Amino acid sequence: MPLSYQHELDFTLSLLQKLRMSVHIVHSGARIREYDGGLRALLGLKADDEQAVLASLRFVQERTILKVLDPFMCRYICFQLPGAEPSAFLLLGPYLTIDPTPGSILELAEKLDFPLHMLPQLSEYYAALPVYHDPSVILAIVSTLGEQLWGSREFDMTDVNEEHPSDPAAANAATPSEQENILRRMRLLEERYAYENQMMEIVSKGLVHQAETLMANVSLLNYQPRVSDPLRNMKNYCIICNTIMRKAAQQGGVHPIHIDALSSRFARAIENTPTPEKCIQLINEMITAYCRLVHTQNNRRYSSVIQKTLTYIDANLSGDLSLTALANLLQITPAYLSSLFRRETGSTLSAYILQSRMKTALQLFQTTHLQIQTVAQLCGFSDPNYFSKQFKRCFSVTPQQYRQGQTASSRYQPVAKN
């Protein structure tokens, strides 16, 4: 039978869960596993309703909210739910009120006489806990629920500091050996680095489907959270992926100027991503974008002169790209540059420049609402009418017609770069 305050209880628990608070409803006499997030199991201590925080439930008085601090710096809130049959308790936590530091975890391990080889696992555990620097917000939510349960000002809040956990020596005997933990961490790191190397090789070849397939198995790497915020953890992983793919593109023969532009765009996108789910979508976008970059900007087959020429053209479409200007920039003769460019690319320099400018114009029309004369200027055309003629020659429609929804079809064949 639903409780009379079931709606208020459900709303409060939903709100607390949005704030990353772990919520447990414990019935009298029932056991609950890993209420502490698996900490006591990790340390080899018994974790059931007769230990630590759960033991406090037996002493909870009616109309009393307990605020519990356990020996592991973890905090909980618990109280009896009135009118529940069989009797039940609400247990919130664990959570922290201060950021865990390597020093504080070391001091805790020393105080409780836990083996030092457990430090990596302890650090990972505390990094995953929510931290409420100002717990008054949580307490205000709980107090508001208390007012709904018992009436305004008709309940108490009591602090409880628990004693040390039972027999640390027994915990030491039950925990994995230092050698086993080192081997486990070695294996996980080996798997992670093998994955990263494989991803770099795939992206460096522009193999988007293989990269997506490999990315689908990323959970097998047991990537460890570094901070308590899930969104920040996913953003950190996005940053790692961006770095891996940036290096892969460089291995794929892409000039750093193109890599830096794409990497910077994704760096901004990462920080603006609102949810962990959007972070996963962003990683998939990275895979496609970097593989496409390798396909379009792979210059390894060309001599250093032509590589520099292609890179400069792509980075300076609105500038002076005359044969004389480019030759002076590269400190070679115009005739030599013209001959070398055609021999290596199969296209004349002027045709390639026009093709690059037209492709950029088409992209700008597809992704912006810029005026036609502005697009012309960005693509290196001072005369909008001449730009429109060249656009129609390339795509069979004028810029105005394209803007009105007519389909563009290119008459130019792109220069193959890979």
Q: Is the peptide bond before 414 cis (omega within 30 degrees of 0)?
A: no
**pLDDT in the model for residue 31:** 61
Residue 45 in tokens = 């201590």
How far is Cα 413 from Cα 222, in angstroms, rounded to an integer?
Answer: 46
The tens digit of pLDDT for each residue in 297-345 reads 776 678 889 888 988 898 889 899 999 999 999 999 999 999 999 998 8
Surface-to-core class of residue 335, CB atoms within 10 Å of its CB (0-12 exposed, 13-18 middle, 19+ buried): exposed
| 190 CB-near residues (< 8 Å, 6+ apart) | none
Averaged pLDDT, 132-145: 89
**pLDDT in the model for residue 414:** 45
Q: Is the peptide bond before 176 cis (omega within 30 degrees of 0)?
A: no
Averaged pLDDT, 215-220: 56
| 99 CB-near residues (< 8 Å, 6+ apart) | 131, 133
Strand order in the sheet with 75-81: 23-27, 88-95, 75-81, 64-69, 156-161
**pLDDT in the model for residue 163:** 54
The tens digit of pLDDT for each residue in 2-20 reads 678 889 899 999 999 888 8
| 268 CB-near residues (< 8 Å, 6+ apart) | none
Q: Rg (Cα) of the chain, in Å, rounded? A: 32
**pLDDT in the model for residue 391:** 93
The tens digit of pLDDT for each residue in 40-80 reads 777 776 544 345 555 555 556 778 888 888 888 899 998 88
Averaged pLDDT, 77-92: 86
How far is Cα 79 from Cα 261, in angstroms, rounded to an integer?
Answer: 55
Residue 348 in this model has a pLDDT that exceeds 90 = yes
Which residue did the predictor score with more confidence, 207 or 191?
207
Question: 179-183, 225-229, 266-270: lowest mean pLDDT where?
Answer: 225-229
State the pTM of this model: 0.46
Q: Which helix (H) or strand (E) holds 200?
A: helix 178-204
The tens digit of pLDDT for each residue in 192-216 reads 788 888 889 889 888 887 787 777 6
Phi first, then psi, for residue 321 (nearest 5°) are -115, 30
